[in-house]
Amino acid sequence: MGRSLLRRASATLDRWPVLRQLAGEDPDRAAAASDRTRELRPRTDETRTVASVCPYCAVGCGTAVHVREGRVVDVEGDPRSPINQGTLCPKGADIFQYAVNPNRLTTTLYRAPRGTRWERVSLAWAMERIADRLQDTRDRTWTAADREGRPLRHTTAVGMLGGAALDNEENYLIKKLCVGLGVIGVENQARI
Amino acid sequence: MTAPGHAGVAHGVRAWDRHDAGAAEQAQQTSGTAITPGRAYGFFTDTTLCIGCKACEVACKQWNQLPSDGFALSGHSYDNTRALGATTWRHVSFIEQFDGERFETGAGATEQWADPAHRWLLLSDVCKHCVEAPCLEACPTGAILRTEFDTVYVQQDVCNGCGYCVPACPFGVVEVDRQRDGKAHKCTLCYDRLKGGLEPACAKACPTDSIQFGPVDELRERAKLRVMELRGRGVPAYLYGTPGVLENEADTSRLRGLNCSFLLIDRPEVYNLPPEPRRPSDNTAPGLLASGLAAAGLVAAALLAFWSER
Amino acid sequence: MGSNFAECHPVGFRFVMLAREKGAEVIHVDPRFTRTSACATKYAQIRAGTDIAFLGAIIRHILESEQWRTDPFFQDYVRHYTNAATLIEEDFRDVADLGGLFSGWRQDYYCPDTWQYAGMQRVLNLADRQEEICRLKTTQSWGMHAGRTVGGPPRRDESMQHPRCVLQILRRHFAPYTADEAARICGVPAERIVDIADTLLRNSGRDRTSSVAYAVGWTQHTTGPQMIACSAILQLLLGNIGRPGGGIQPLRGHATIQGSTDIPTLYDLLPGYLHMPTHLPIDVGLDTYVWNEGGATGVWAHTRSYMVSLLKSYYGEHATAENEFGYQWLPRIHRDFSHMPMFVDMHAGRMEGFILMGQNPAVGGPNARFHREALGRLKWLVVRDLFLTESATFWERAPEVQAGEVRPEDIETEVFVLPAASVLEKDGSFTNTHRLIQWHHSAVEPPGEARSDAWFVVHLGRRLKARAAGSAAERDAGLRALTWDYPVHGPLEEPDMDYVLREINGYRWPDDPARREPLETALHLADDGSTACGCWIYCGVHPGTNRAASREPDDYVSPGWGFAWPNNIRLLYNRCSADPSGQPWSPHKKYVWWDERERRWVGADVPDFPPDKPPDAPGDPSLGGLEGFAGDWPFVMKPDGRAWLFFPNGMKDGPMPTHYEPWETPVENPLYAAHGRNPETRIWEVAGNAYHGIGDPRFPFVLTTYRLTEHHTGGGMTRWNSWLAELQPEAFVELSPELAGALKIANGGWVTVVTARGRAPARALVTRRLRPLRVMGREIHQVGMPWHFGYEGLVRGSAANELVALVGEPNVTIHEGKVLTCNLVAGRDGAAERPGAP
């Protein structure tokens, strides 16, 4: 018992960097490394790497997203990209924090007319209610033709804004749905 | 030449396996150098290529998961982090030099960016990883070590926060974080990344290669060529951190040079760098003494623990 | 010019710095000395909004220079590849003759009859009078030019000496733009303008090319498109279009702002730059739409194929030849309903519902308070974003609410906030500023109730289609016919975005959704309903494999990295990189050329030209399409195959760029006294949007707004990120020490910027990077303010958009955010206490 404890204590002292430096292992200072130091590895080891694109400006830098167990652990420039060749600007270097951020919205919120606070509601409830609102407004304000009988087939009482920060496929779906609904008020950041 | 428009038809690459490409080869790809233990590595920061974007600051914070320093406008040009410290290991300085009255000159002999009458000097500062590092010499616990890449590294599990390294550093780089963990922090030259064959985060991110990573000997050669080229263009460039080599009035010989060197075009003080960096005291080795005392104390403590456990 | 390249596109600037270090000149012309100026080899500080005067002086200097007039390269390029030799109508009158107006002015709009090529006319195929179309004032360029050009072929004078040929008209037009006159207007010393002109001339030619980069520093002006057109004239005169290292680079500001124009979420466009039909007789049916929309020659000659294929992808089996492929289900536009007029409608209570997806008009819209008031007059509002933005919380946190001027209890709007997925959490593609489509793969699941915007749209569409399923109402016919069977996957039921991209790419009809036969190129699009294609210019992006996801770089053009529309062409109009005979202009600038042995165009890129049309092929416009193009007509989008130095149609505010003063300006226009500002400017005389007069003594200073590297747009993607927030933590105003001294404003102290729209207290950043300018013998002070801030997020501050007016450019109705006038008051105005301040 005592021997094993002594052994343990001396083993600990053996690894203690100062003693090893004093013991003459200097100047090979690497010898003073602690276990943690010796085992240090980049946290991107043993991760899955997913090819992505920076969501900020339109230069279109390629990014490498490192994922472990369903969580993003690191985002860097994709060295293969002929555009950025692994580099990024400060915003691109901050993509990790853009996605992994305690300030992000993760729940659906609702504010009633003339309300003074947010209420938490379910996503499904909100979706149903939004569909109600959209259908009601659109049906009530539908204009088939102008006073001279020229076709309009639209409503100007509903609008949508955004798109330059979305995906091409999302923009395609938005415009298609708006054409189907007769909503002509669709705009995005390209206009401002 | 590939047939354009057809060569690109390819797989919907979903993900790539980093081990296929070989993580150790990534530095080769991003910095043109392989990383081999036993060789000295560092940065060469060419201030004439800096665009002041601060990608290095953010890439550093991201990789090292450092907290922000707080949200205060300094009023000092575009520099709001102000200095290197425990939570800022890369720091971009903005030096506005506008002596001329108006931007009125016609065909100037000098390139605008180097015109001493109208210029905005930009520099990304970092730990110099001195060849003879005063912080390491001052450290009584052995927390600060020189790695197999000849960089200077503070081992967080060993550091006891005594703070001896802080006044030892002639550049004000290392700082003890009294708010968080009470330990000394500074640039690690991404020691973890080097071990995995990855270029340090700041140098990898730098979009204009103002920050160049590589073996110190190769960087010095590159730096010399760059200085000569700029001088040929009429820009009074010189190096900082390469004792005896194109250093002009700067002199870093007391530290036997810096593994992280700089190319400057104005006096060192302008960039907040000491012209002749030196140890607080060049004639003692207090660190070693302190280490000895601390060692004795710790042996005593260990024995005490042993006895009381028994 | 018009771009702060280093700050706003730092990684793109990587290549500028590489070029500088290889000896290239980097010239920056900007109202502020920025980080871009700090890296340039030449810099000029210009008064905001005077870019056409500056460029005009450069054009004049070049046209009059011995080098330009005698170098055969410039003469050959311009003669063959532009309309310089083409003659213009006799009745055309320039601005110099009419005090600032071109011929064709009709009270408040132009009719372009006199701007046509001599002997040619624009005609309509129906009863619409041109006048009515001009009056429509949509943002569609053919809003005034619908129809086709008939007559011709255009008359030319190959010597380019005829007084009515374009080159001579251009020379006369820019004659008043001397370097001295431009110096008076712009505040830039004349010798600097001449030096920059000479530098451009020296760096253009057979062996060298120069490139122009601009951004919203040009677009956000009441003369924005004309500034860009002016740079196009300059670049064409210098032979810098369609050649490697040349061109005009629009540096766009959002990840897919290019894509959202190509596949538009815009009121006036359908995918692939097809116009939304109007209610006028020109668009009454598919045939008339196609006749007016497409030309007889050039790529647009196949408009019917593009439109019918789009309708097939919208309406599937319901689109048949018998029902004009569903054309009659398309909604019609009847006026300008772009961003600003839409918010004017909303402000007037004429809108009920609004859906925001990743846009934040409460601080990002010009005249921000007007935008917030408008949102408060909606019945319902949906906000989808990653963070709780100002547009979601305007009813409780806006400055006017915090100041007690508005009570939440009085705001009727019902607000739904739905968390959105980030780029890391969804599949999809972005189109970058270089038309390059790149796919991003989902890396992780979105957190909590966050979903992609595709999820929102697809599931909303499912609900609405289900409700319309049993409806017999005529208004629901198009909705019922809309194909909406989008497959979803996983527990979150996220839509399959690869499937959507395949629909955009196009496929053959009849269709088996499980095994779609993809199209490989837009050349295969048919006008008989046998093809479906969601966006004709994107055809080829997914010919069975997702080329947007292709990541095979090389060390030059990298055709294997992503997919560039159209047809993976990386450099548009690259036929210009060879001389008229098809050979490279110089070995150094070799790019695409005619291989006589193979009898085809070859080179580093896909030729942007019929691949086997020899350079000496004669032109015969009667053949239609590209068939009748001559072998030296490189501009395949133009009906006459040549680039336009003079615009017979397409621009509403004149056939040549003209210096007009900004809408709000401290000085009169010395060139055109009677019409000093763009006569076609769009203005809204509504409450809360008062304008300043010319030289308004209440607002003596010039204000420009801008971005910083450390933030993005209105801050919605950066002010919640601590690592960026700490780098630029507060709103500030940049001003010169001279102005600060006169107004007793201290660096770091408070200053309040005031306009007739609002007040914006912020911290003062006193810097010699801003200098007082000498303009028309007066001293003019310019100040700058970044527009990233707002009242939410980790870091807050006044939104610069509190100050900006709703005032629009006539071609595209973009606001003038880059120049306005203002006043400065030292201190932090009590009434405008900065919300959220410590």
Q: For every residue of C384-431, which 3-state class applies, written as one string? A: EECCCCHHHHHHHHCHHHHCCCCCHHHCCCEEEEEEECCHHHCCEEEE
Using CB atoms, list chains with 3+ pairs below 8 Å to chain C: A, B
Query: Residue B292: pLDDT above 90?
Result: no
- All residues at 6 or more sequence positions from C350 whose CB lies less than 8 Å from its CB, including other chains: A156, A157
Query: Residue B5: pLDDT above 60?
Result: no
Q: How many CB atoms lie within 10 A of CB A27?
A: 9
What pLDDT is recorded for position C511?
A: 79
What pLDDT is recorded for position C125?
A: 59
Closest-CA residue of A relative to B139 is A18
Residue of B14, B16, B64, B81 to mutate when probing chain A, most A C-beta within 10 A: B16
Contact: B122, C557; criterion CB under 8 Å: no
What pLDDT is recorded for position C835?
A: 41
Contacts of A191 in chain C (CB under 8 A): 266, 338-339, 812-814
Contacts of C261 in chain A (CB under 8 A): 190
Report how far apart, in Å, the C-alpha atoms of C223 and of each of A72, C658, C685, C807 are: 45, 8, 20, 11
Q: How far is CA C336 from the centre of its chain?
A: 17
Q: How many CB pairs under 8 A join A and B?
A: 142
Contact: A137, C431; criterion CB under 8 Å: no
Contact: A137, C500; criterion CB under 8 Å: no
Contacts of B232 in chain C (CB under 8 A): none
Contacts of A29 in chain B (CB under 8 A): 136, 145-147
What pLDDT is recorded for position C292?
A: 85
> Three-class SS of residue C556?
coil
A143 CA: distance to closest CA in chain B (Å):
45
C649 against B174, higher pLDDT? B174
Contact: C709, B53; criterion CB under 8 Å: yes
C399 CA: distance to closest CA in chain B (Å):
21
- All residues at 6 or more sequence positions from A147 whose CB lies less than 8 Å from its CB, including other chains: none
- All residues at 6 or more sequence positions from C215 whose CB lies less than 8 Å from its CB, including other chains: C2, C3, C4, C5, C8, C9, C250, C251, C252, C253
Asked if A5 is an interface residue toward chain B (Cβ–Cβ < 8 A), one would say: yes
Query: Residue A7: pLDDT above 50?
Result: no
B204 CA: distance to closest CA in chain A (Å):
6
Q: Is the ipTM of this complex over 0.95?
A: yes
Asked if C424 is an interface residue toward chain B (Cβ–Cβ < 8 A), one would say: no
Q: How many CB atoms lie within 10 A of CB C704?
A: 24
Backbone angles phi, psi at A119, to 5 degrees: -120, 145
| Cross-strand partners of C532 | C507
Contact: A32, B145; criterion CB under 8 Å: yes
In the stretch 29-58 of chain C, residues with CB closer than 8 A to chain B read 33, 35-45
DSSP string, A156-184: EEEEEE--TTS-HHHHHHHHHHHHHHTEE
Contacts of C330 in chain A (CB under 8 A): 153, 179
Contacts of B141 in chain A (CB under 8 A): 17-18
Using CB atoms, list chains with 3+ pairs below 8 Å to chain B: A, C
Query: Closest to C428 (Cβ–Cβ): which among A71, A99, A169?
Result: A169
Query: Closest to C559 (Cβ–Cβ): which among B4, B52, B78?
Result: B4
Q: How far is CA C375 from the centre of its chain?
A: 26
What pLDDT is recorded for position B26?
A: 85
Contacts of B198 in chain A (CB under 8 A): 42, 44
Q: Which of A87, A63, A83 is nearest to A75 (CA)?
A: A63
Q: How many CB atoms lie within 10 A of CB A158?
A: 25
Instruction: Compute the residue count for chain B.
Output: 310
- All residues at 6 or more sequence positions from C222 whose CB lies less than 8 Å from its CB, including other chains: C660, C662, C663, C677, C678, C681, C807, C808, C809, C810, C816
Whole-number Å distance between alpha carbons of C618 and C598: 20
Contacts of A144 in chain C (CB under 8 A): 474-475
Token pair 């008051």 is found at C825
Query: Residue B24: pLDDT above 70?
Result: no
Let me know: does A59 contact C9? Beta carbons within 8 Å: yes
> For the segment A38-64, what is each residue's pLDDT rounded down to a tens digit?
999 999 999 999 999 999 999 999 999
- All residues at 6 or more sequence positions from C490 whose CB lies less than 8 Å from its CB, including other chains: none
Question: pLDDT band at A3, cuts 50/70/90?
Answer: very low
What pLDDT is recorded for position C367?
A: 98
Query: Closest to C463 (Cβ–Cβ): which among A92, A131, A154?
Result: A131
A102 CA: distance to closest CA in chain C (Å):
9
Residue of C457, C471, C538 to mutate when probing chain A, most A C-beta within 10 A: C457
C445 CA: distance to closest CA in chain A (Å):
7
What pLDDT is recorded for position C108?
A: 86
Helix (H) or strand (E) holding B309: helix B286-309
Whole-number Å distance between alpha carbons of C586 and A104: 55
Position C508, amino acid: R
Report how far apart, in Å, the C-alpha atoms of A191 and of each of A131, A164, B274, C484, C811 are: 27, 10, 51, 28, 11
C653 CA: distance to closest CA in chain B (Å):
33
Whole-number Å distance between alpha carbons of C396 and C406: 9
Contacts of A47 in chain C (CB under 8 A): none
Contacts of C192 in chain B (CB under 8 A): 103-106
Closest-CA residue of B relative to A14 is B299
Closest-CA residue of A relative to B25 is A79
Contacts of B201 in chain C (CB under 8 A): none
A166 against A163, higher pLDDT? A166
Helix (H) or strand (E) holding C702: strand C701-706
Whole-number Å distance between alpha carbons of A94 and A107: 23
- All residues at 6 or more sequence positions from C199 whose CB lies less than 8 Å from its CB, including other chains: C25, C27, C42
Asked if A76 is an interface residue toward chain B (Cβ–Cβ < 8 A), one would say: yes
Contacts of A74 in chain B (CB under 8 A): 62-63
B56 CA: distance to closest CA in chain A (Å):
7
Asked if A44 is an interface residue toward chain B (Cβ–Cβ < 8 A), one would say: yes
What pLDDT is recorded for position C297?
A: 82
Whole-number Å distance between alpha carbons of B32 and C23: 23
Contact: C768, B98; criterion CB under 8 Å: yes
Contact: C33, B118; criterion CB under 8 Å: yes
> For the segment A73-108, what is each residue's pLDDT rounded down to a tens digit?
999 999 999 999 999 999 999 999 999 999 999 999
Question: pLDDT band at B16, cuts 50/70/90?
Answer: very low
Low pLDDT (below 70) residues in chain C: 124-130, 141-147, 830-838
Query: Closest to C331 (Cβ–Cβ): which among A126, A154, A164?
Result: A154
Let me know: does B169 contact B84? Beta carbons within 8 Å: no
Contacts of C566 in chain B (CB under 8 A): none
Q: Which of A175, A189, A56 is nearest to C219 (CA)?
A: A189
What pLDDT is recorded for position C45?
A: 97
Residue of B51, B119, B212 to mutate when probing chain C, most C C-beta within 10 A: B51
Contact: C44, B81; criterion CB under 8 Å: no
pTM of the model: 0.94
Let me know: does A165 contact C453? Beta carbons within 8 Å: no
> For the segment B195-208, what is each residue's pLDDT rounded down to a tens digit?
999 999 999 999 99
Closest-CA residue of B relative to C592 is B4
Token pair 């057109």 is found at C229
Q: How many CB pairs under 8 A join A and C?
A: 478
Beta strands C42-45 and C27-30, pairing class: parallel
Asked if C19 is an interface residue toward chain B (Cβ–Cβ < 8 A), one would say: no
Contacts of B11 in chain C (CB under 8 A): 545, 549-550
Sign of the Cα pseudo-torsion (C504, C509, C513, C518, in order) = negative
Instruction: Compute the residue count for chain A.
Output: 192
Contacts of B57 in chain C (CB under 8 A): 723, 727
Question: pLDDT band at B9, cuts 50/70/90?
Answer: very low
